């Protein structure tokens, strides 16, 4: 299972991640991301793209170990 994790001190609320992956990331009223659950396999590539697009490297894609 993969999940997205936000590094809150690094996040500046630019919203790029939500533009790339609106299926899983919404923005709160201040523009900070709200991640909506684990990353399904069919959205993995978009999740990787959202992580790469973050201008402050504040988003990470983690894989849970079994």
Q: What is the pLDDT of residues 18-55, one digit of tens each?
A: 999 999 999 999 999 999 999 999 999 999 999 999 99
- The verdict on pTM exceeding 0.85 is yes
CATH architecture assignment, domain 2-63? 2-Layer Sandwich (3.30)
> What residues does each domain of the chain span?
2-63
Asked if the model's pLDDT at residue 66 lies above 70, the reply is no
DSSP secondary structure string for all residues of 12-64: ----HHHHH-TTTEEE-TTS-EEE-S-B-GGGHHHHHHHHHH-TT--EEEEE-
> What's the pLDDT band for 64 if we cut at 50, 70, 90?
confident
Pick 54 or 65 by higher pLDDT.
54
Predicted local confidence at residue 48, as pLDDT: 98
- pLDDT, residue 65, reads 75
């Amino acid at each position: 299972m993969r999940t997205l994790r936000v590094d809150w001190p690094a996040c500046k609320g630019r919203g790029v991640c939500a533009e790339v992956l609106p299926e899983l990331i919404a923005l709160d009223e201040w523009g900070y991301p709200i991640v909506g659950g684990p990353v399904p396999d069919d959205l993995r590539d978009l999740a990787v793209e959202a992580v790469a697009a973050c201008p402050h490297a504040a988003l990470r894609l983690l894989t849970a170990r079994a």
